[in-house]
A and B are shown apart, each in its own frame.
Chain A
C-alpha cells in the first residue's frame, strides 16, 4: 500500500515536470486531471490504511549513509485522507478555473509538486525526509504564491512568506536536531522509543509549537498568512488554507503525541492559551477586512486556533491520565481540521469564482450575486452556515464535541488548569459567535442586496467544473453534519494511537446519534434535527400556501417610505462591522474613526477616517524590524574602518578567544 502511495507521489512530481512540456492547449486539463486521479488514488490508500496495521518502507535516497524512511500509520493515513480530499477538490476546481489563468505555466508545474510535497510530509518517518519534504512544501507553495507576480501586493507577501517559512523550518530543524542528537538516530521510531529528559522534551515542544505554529498561522506568527494565501490563485489558496495548515497541525500532533513520550501537565498551557487567543483574534481580523479572500484567510487563523485548543485539551487529559477524555478532545480537533478543510476549500472556490466573474475581490463593490450566480451562491451559503457552526452542518458537530470535552475538564487536577479551561471556553464561545457575524457579512454583502458596481450587475455563473466542485464540497459539509458518527468512528484508530483511548462506537447508536460519553449526559443527532427542520419548514409553507394565501407581488422596497436611493445607500461591509469594531476593536486594535467636516461655507466633502493598529505588528514585528535596522546601522560602521583598526580588531578577538580558552581549559 505504501509503495502505491509513494509511486502516486512520484507520479505527481512527474506531472509537474511534464506540465512544462505539454502543449499549451491541453496542459491545464491534463495536469489538473492527472492530479485529480492521483489524489483520488492517495485518498483510497488513506481510507484503506486508517484502520490497518502500520507499514514502513525505506528508500536509499537520503544523505550518505542514511535511508529515507516512510511510515504509514493511522495518524498518517487520516491526514492522507484530509490532504488528498482537499487536493482532489482543488484539482477538479482547477480544471475549470485554471483555464482563466493569465500565465498557466507559472502555476501548472508547481501545483502537483505542492500536492506531492504535502503528501510526503505526512508519510515521512525520519528527520531528514521530514524536513526535506517540509521545505519542499514551503518552496512550491511560495512559487504558487508568486505566480501572479505582476500584482503589486504579491512581492511583499511572497517575501514575508519566505521569511516566515524559513524561520519556521529553522526552528523545526533545531527541534529535530535536539531529538536526533539525544536519541542518537534520525528515525522517528528510534526517537519515539527514547526517553527524553523533561527539560529537553519541554524545549522541543515549545520549538515545535513555534515551528508548526508559524506554518499553521498561530498568533502572533500568523502575519504572513492573510497576505500570502489570497495572493495565490483561488484553488491554491484553498489548498494552502484548507490543507497546508492541517499538515502543520499533523506535524505538531506527530511531535507532541508520538515522538516526545508522556506529556507533562503544563504542556497544554501554552497550546491552550495561544489557541484561544488565535481563535478570537483571527475572527476579529476577518471582521475588519473587506477583501473576500483575506476574510477567508483570517478565518483560517481562527479555525487553526480552535484546532490547537482541542489539541491542547487532549494533551491536558493525556497528562492527567484520562485517555477516554483525551480521545474525545482529539477527535474534536481532528474532525474540525477535516471539516475546516471542506468548508474553507468550498469558500475559497466560491471567492475565486466571484473574483473571476466580477474582476474584484472587494466585497464593497459586489452585491446581489446570488441572482446571477445561483449555484456559487448556494454553495457559499451552505459553507458559510457550516463554518459558523450552525446545525445541521458539520462545523457544529466538531465545535459541539469540543464544548463537550471542555465540560468534562473539571476532572483536571491542577488548579492552573481549572482556572484556564473555563477562560478558554469563553474564548471559544466568543470565537464561534463572532464567526457567525463574520460569515453573515462575507456571504450577505457580496451575494445579497443590490449590485454595488456594474461588474457585479453583469456577472455570469462559473463553469460546470467549478460549480460542480463547490456544490459537492457543500454537500459533503451537510453529509458529515448529518452523519458524523461514521467519521468519528473512522478516527478511533488515530486517537488510540495518540492517546491510548477511544471514543465509544457511534455507528451502532439508534438513529445514528452521536453520544460522546453517555446518553444521559449528552447526545446530538444532526439527521433528526435536519428532518425536523425540513418537515417544520415545508409543512408550514405548504399549509400557509394551501389554506391562507399564495399571492405575491413585486414592488419597490418600502424602506420606511424613503424612496430607494442608489445601491450605495445599502449598508456596506465596513458599516455592518462598525458596532463590532467599536465594541471589540477599540481595546484590541485601538480602532477609532474620526469625521472631519469642512467649515461652514466650504463645499468640499467631509472625510471619515478609520485608524487601527494590529497588535502583532505593533508589538512584535515593528520593534523587531527596528532592532534589526538599528543593529545593522551600528554594524555598518565596521565596513568603513582603516586597515589599522581592522588589524587591532583581529588582534583583540584573538586575545579574547585565548583568554576564553585559558579559562575553560
Chain B
C-alpha cells in the first residue's frame, strides 16, 4: 500500500513538473506581448493586444514554410533543435516551485551550455542560408556571446560559492531561506542583468524591433525563416526571455516560491507571485528600453567587459574571504 502511495506521490510530482514545463511555454509569448504593449503605451501608441504574439504564432504555424533553394537539412532541423534546447534549459529553472523533479540532471552550468547549444545551431542555420545577412547576424551574435558567456560563467561561480552548490534548485532554496546582503551578490545581479540583456538581444545591445540591416543581430539570423520554422524560432526567443527572468527571480527575488510541502493554497500564491514577477520584469524592461538608446556594435564589448569584470570581482571577493 505504501508503494502505491509512493508511486502516487511520484506521479503527482511528475505532473507538477510537466505543468511547470508546459506553463513556461504557454506564458512566453504573453511576456513578449506585454513588453511590446508597454513600450507602445510609453510611446503614446495604442499598440497591439497582449495576445498578439499568440495570434502571430497561430498564423505562422498554419502557413507553409519557404526555405532557400541551396539550404541543407540543418536549416529545417534547426528551429526544432533550437526550441528543444531552450525549452530543456527553461525546464531546469525553478519558476514557482524549487523542487523540480529532474533538477539533478543538469545544473546552472548545464543551463548556460544548453543555451550555447541553441545559439550554435541558430548561427549555423543562419550561415546555411547562403546570404550575407545570415553571416552578419551570426558573426555579431558570436562576438556578443564570446563575452556574455564567460560573464555568465563568472556569475555562476559567484552564486555557487555563496550557495555552496551549482544546482539551481538547491541554490534557489538557499537564497529563499536568506543569505543576507552581500557585495558579491549585488555584483552578480548587475552582471547577470547585463548578460540577460545581451543574450535576449534587447536594447542597448540589439533592438528586437529593428529591421534596419546594418543594426540587426538576432533578427538578421531569422530573416529567411518563414511559416512554422519562424514560429519555432520566435517561440524559442520568447522562452529564453522567460528563462532569464525566472532565473533572476528565483535567485534574487525568491518571494513566494514554494520550497517545501504545504497546503495547495501556497502553490496558488506561488503561481500568482511568479506571474507578478514576470509582469514586473516586463514593465521594468519596457521602461529601461524606452530610456536608453541602442549602442554602437563595437561599444557592446565594453559593456560586456564590465559584466565579466563584475563577475570576476564577485568571485574574487568570495575566494579571498574563503567562504564556501
Contacts and interface: CB of A to CB of B under 8 A. Distances in A.
Interface of A: 367-368, 370-371, 377, 381, 385, 388-391, 396, 400, 403-404, 406-411, 415, 418-419, 421-423, 425-426, 429-430, 432-434, 436-437, 440-441, 443-445, 448-450, 511, 513, 519-525, 528-529, 532-534, 536-538, 540-541, 544, 548-549, 551-560, 562, 564, 567, 569-571, 575-580, 582-584
B130 A557 contact: yes
B157 A425 contact: yes
B149 A429 contact: yes
Contacts of B124: 440, 443-444, 448
Given A388-B116, A391-B117, A560-B133, A418 B320 contact: yes
Given A410-B323, A521-B170, A553-B65, 13 more contacts: A419-B316, A436-B116, A436-B120, A448-B127, A523-B107, A525-B105, A528-B102, A529-B106, A552-B65, A552-B67, A557-B131, A576-B127, A576-B135
Given A513-B104, A529-B106, A571-B134, A583 B84 contact: no
A182 to B, nearest CB: 37
Interface string B50-77: 0000000000011111111111111010
Interface string B191-214: 000000000000000000000010
Contacts of A576: 127, 135, 138-139, 142
Nearest to B297: A579
Interface string B150-182: 100110010011001111001000000000000
B1 interface: no
Main secondary structure of the interface of B (DSSP, over half): helix
A440 B133 contact: no
Interface stretch (B2-10, B27-35, B85-93): B85-93
Interface string B103-115: 0111101100110
B223 A559 contact: yes
**Interface bin, chain B:** 35 or more
Nearest to B170: A520
B19 interface: no
A551 B127 CA distance: 23
B19 to A, nearest CB: 16
Contact of A396 (B76, B113, B322): B113
A519 B116 contact: no
Contacts of A537: 80-81, 83-84
A400 B109 contact: yes
A391 B61 contact: no
Contacts, number: 288
B319 interface: yes
Contact of A571 (B67, B72, B127): B127
A521 B143 contact: no
Interface stretch (B224-232, B261-269, B282-290): B224-232
B140 interface: yes
Contacts of A385: 117, 120
B154 A426 contact: yes
Interface of A is mostly: helix
A574 to B, nearest CB: 10
B47 interface: no
Contacts of B270: none
25 contacts: A368-B70, A388-B120, A391-B114, A396-B113, A400-B110, A410-B322, A436-B120, A440-B124, A448-B124, A449-B127, A450-B130, A522-B166, A537-B80, A537-B84, A538-B80, A549-B62, A549-B63, A552-B64, A555-B66, A558-B68, A559-B133, A570-B127, A578-B139, A579-B297, A580-B142
Nearest to B216: A560
A524 to B, nearest CB: 6
Nearest to A571: B135
A368 B87 CA distance: 29
A440 B68 contact: no
A553 B133 contact: no
Contact of A371 (B72, B110, B113): B72
Given A390-B120, A433-B145, A532-B88, A560 B130 contact: no
A391 B110 contact: yes
